[in-house]
Structure 1
Amino acid sequence: MTETTASSAALDEIRSYFDGKADAYDDVDAQPYWVLSDELLWTALSEFVLNRLPEGFRFLDAGGGTGRWTHRFATARPDSSGVLYDLTPAMFGHAKKKAESHGYADRLVCREGDLAEVGEALADERFDLVFNFHNVLGFVDSPPRTIEALAGLLKPGGLLVSFVPSRWHAAWFNLTLAQTGEAERSLEGRGRFTDTMPDMHLFTPDQLREMHEAAGLDVELVSGFPVLLYPGYQETQLHGSTHALADLLGDRSTFDRVLAMERSLLGRTDTVGRGNNLFVLASRPGN
């Protein structure tokens, strides 16, 4: 790999991985654990991000896939418009269908591209909000360069939100599967959760803070969630749920109680290391 872009073989592996998942990717919405995680992420966005965005704000969904989070922003804020940028047309084809069926196709542009080149590809655009969620930053060749490029696309005062895989969680997860070697690799910052997924970067809270600050951003919050429940192996697949999690979260009243406990911990820095995923909110200086 070069410093600026992943090798063609690595890109082909990532495209192939997501091509194979595209048609069923949104089925994760039926898995109770990810419903919980999504509700927490949306709560964090509602509390820390949405109320700071101006009327008519522009967003960039970096590595947006099937547009699950573009859809949330576009429907919650009908004044918004934006760009979904993704490596895999098979994935963002579903985002286009969502936009058409929910009436915001005129407010969304889907662009194909490698995030290593996003700064050049969107050089003439500026955004009030840029976000990358779940494994996106893990799959780029150089996370610091990608953060720098995304930061450069922000308007003064604009917000960058990253939600990324935790190194500590990956090590724990692999140990539960008796994959000691993968756990050791995770602690070094590279790894994976299953043998069918591409290798990826894994992050620590301090590392994320340093990367965002090095890109000239003011880091306002580093958090992590969920912190009280972790996914099992079945949650790494598109279908099915770990029995214990399905039993616990399948009951609505229990789900609501767990969600309330998790929400009470959002934004607390003393729980960040327990987060399944790590949440970073940073802003570009200026007005």
Structure 2
Amino acid sequence: MTDIHNNQVIEYFRNKADAYDRTDEQVYWRLSDELLWEALTRYVLPSVHEGAKVLDAGGGTGRWSDRLLRHRKDMTGVLFDLSPDMTRHASAKAGEHGYADRLQVLHGDLGELNAQVEEEQFDLAISFHNVLGFVDDVPSVLRQIEAVLKPGGQLVLVIPNRYHAIFYNIFAGNLDEAENATHQRRGRFTADMPAMNLFTPTELTGTLNEIGLPVTFFTGYPVAVYPGFEETQLDGDSKTVRQSLSDDEAYRRIKNLELRLLGEPGLAERGNNLFVVARKPQ
């Protein structure tokens, strides 16, 4: 990552770090998180062996390291992230929830991961939400993650969907950003965030195959409910989402619809997020 881009990302997350986990309070992101956890428990965790070690690449405040290590007390992990403002919350969670002895927190640029992390030591690597969006050289970062996976290890990515970025920006009236997403495969959802890489299933599958991480599973989520502007902020619910999801019975029924659709590969392009699992050959 260039120094300028690096500093932009650090500053962006410095301003959000203390309130970042408040997204748990937003009904849309609660649904999104429940779907992600379901995808992990369906398609990933059953094949993760006892005593496995996980790399949380760009793990930030440790929202998903926390969930994994509390769910699987046999697992250990390393959280690697650029922002010390974010990771101090991850360290606090580890102490509060009793797994500080099972989680190591490291700071650094993912573009230099192999300089800090030994090769072939992880059984599972996760990198969720906009992490790969903010790196300069996606194939290089993926190669470095491949190098630290053991043979048979899995990589799980949650990444921004280029097609959703186009859709979102058109309906938000941000036609410049919709055009950037279309022509440059980069864009933003808010004016204050750095421009980031955007992905499609076909492009990402090709990249992962080229570096030796064949894709074993690909889907998208949520596919039936989309966020509005308020969901790009750290609190607040947009009118459409609030009308759709604030009623408990409606939330239950929509969640059940999403769970029924979760895992259908043909729906990946409709997802707000792309969910991909790849495995390093034995």
Whether TM-score is above 0.5 comes out as yes
Match runs of 1:104-123 below 5 Å: 104-123=99-118
State the alpha-carbon separation in 2 of the partners of residues 267 and 147 from structure 1: 23
Give the CA RMSD over aligned residues.
Answer: 0.9
1:136 aligns with 2:131: yes
Q: Deviations over 1:225-273 (max 9, x none)?
A: 1000110000000011102212321222211111110111111111111
Q: Deviations over 1:201-247 (max 9, x none)?
A: 00011011011111101211111110001100000000111022123
Q: Pick from 174, 177, 180: which aligns with 2:175?
A: 180
2:87 alignment counterpart: 92
Is the 8 Å Cα contact of residues 220 and 269 (structure 2) preserved in structure 1?
yes
State the alpha-carbon separation in 1 of the partners of residues 99 and 265 from structure 2: 37
State the alpha-carbon separation in 2 of the partners of residues 131 and 7 from structure 1: 23
| TM-score (structure 1 length as normaliser) | 0.96
The aligned amino acid for 1:274 is: R
The aligned amino acid for 2:260 is: S
Q: Deviations over 1:157-210 (max 9, x none)?
A: 110001100100001111011111110101130110011000100001101101
The aligned amino acid for 1:195 is: A
The aligned amino acid for 1:37 is: S
State the alpha-carbon separation in 2 of the partners of residues 161 and 236 from structure 1: 23
2:210 alignment counterpart: 214
What is the count of residue pairs matched by the alignment?
281
Match runs of 1:41-190 below 5 Å: 41-124=36-119, 126-188=121-183, 189-190=185-186
| TM-score (structure 2 length as normaliser) | 0.98
State the alpha-carbon separation in 2 of the partners of residues 52 and 165 from structure 1: 26
Q: Pick from 213, 228, 231: which aligns with 1:232?
A: 228
Percent of residue pairs bearing the same amino acid type: 47
State the alpha-carbon separation in 2 of the partners of residues 144 and 223 from structure 1: 21
The aligned amino acid for 1:118 is: L
The aligned amino acid for 1:243 is: K
Q: Which runs of 5+ in 1 are unaligned?
A: 1-5
Match runs of 1:181-200 below 5 Å: 181-188=176-183, 189-200=185-196
Q: Which runs of 5+ in 2 are unaligned?
A: none
1:84 match: secondary structure = strand
2:158 match: secondary structure = strand
Relative to structure 2, which stretch is displaced further, 26-35 or 175-184?
A: 175-184
State the alpha-carbon separation in 2 of the partners of residues 246 and 23 from structure 1: 25
Is the 8 Å Cα contact of residues 61 and 86 (structure 2) preserved in structure 1?
yes
The aligned amino acid for 2:4 is: A
1:267 match: secondary structure = coil
